[in-house]
């Protein structure tokens, strides 16, 4: 009986630890937000597939906007805490040219749908079980094993920053502000 109580306390802690940022080889946590100079940015993969609501999503359809690509799973506590903040960011920044786009990594689409409904997500989410598209297509310097994580993609479709922790609406505003001020290099 006592063992069960201890296990009930430890299981959520292990789940939260799985969401924490990885440690580097020196034992210190990485910076929570990595920014990349324009010359060092690489193209984001053109993720495409079915949204949680059944529609089609293609990342390149948002070219010309600053995209906040948030990778999450329904079981991840920090992802749950972050979702309302990202919805607020979408509501307040959409008119300025920012698009929040989720990537649900849950194996079962119904878990992602429940998460989106529970949190009233104000943005679409691509269903990518186990991050298969991201794992195979994301440049190595942007890959991580932590959740949640967020890629900030500039108007040209290149990864400009990466958030490795739960972000607030204020964080999203701070990171997107200089990206919105950048001139696009894309020809129209």
Q: Does the pLDDT value for residue 89 go beyond 70?
A: yes
pTM value is 0.82
pLDDT at 144: 84
**Mean pLDDT, range 66-81, rounded to an integer:** 96
pLDDT at 31: 60
pLDDT at 130: 86
Q: Does the pLDDT value for residue 5 go beyond 70?
A: no
Q: For CA atoms 110, 46, 70, 93, give the dihedral sign.
A: negative
Q: Model confidence over 133-150: pLDDT tens digits?
A: 877 888 888 888 889 999
CA–CA distance from 25 to each of 22, 28, 35, 165 (Å)? 10, 8, 21, 19
What CA–CA distance (Å, rounded) separates 32 from 175? 12
pLDDT grade for 171, boundaries at 50, 70 and 90: very high
pLDDT at 186: 55
């Amino acid at each position: 009986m006592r063992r069960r109580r201890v296990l009930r306390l430890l299981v959520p802690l292990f789940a939260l630890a799985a969401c924490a940022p990885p440690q580097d080889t020196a034992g210190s946590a990485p910076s929570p937000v990595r920014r990349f100079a324009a010359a060092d940015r690489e193209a984001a993969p053109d993720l495409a597939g079915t949204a949680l609501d059944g529609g089609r999503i293609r990342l390149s359809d948002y070219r010309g906007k600053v995209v906040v690509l948030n990778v999450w799973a329904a079981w991840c506590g920090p992802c749950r805490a972050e979702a309302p903040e990202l919805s607020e960011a979408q509501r307040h920044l959409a008119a300025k040219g920012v698009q929040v786009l989720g990537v649900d990594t849950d194996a079962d689409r119904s878990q992602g749908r429940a998460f989106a409904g529970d949190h009233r997500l104000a943005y679409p989410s691509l269903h990518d079980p186990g991050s298969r598209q991201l794992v195979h297509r994301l440049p190595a310097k942007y890959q991580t094993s932590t959740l949640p994580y967020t890629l900030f993609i500039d108007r040209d479709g290149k990864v400009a920053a990466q958030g490795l922790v739960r972000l607030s609406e204020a964080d999203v505003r701070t990171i997107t502000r200089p990206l919105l001020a950048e001139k696009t290099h894309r020809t129209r």
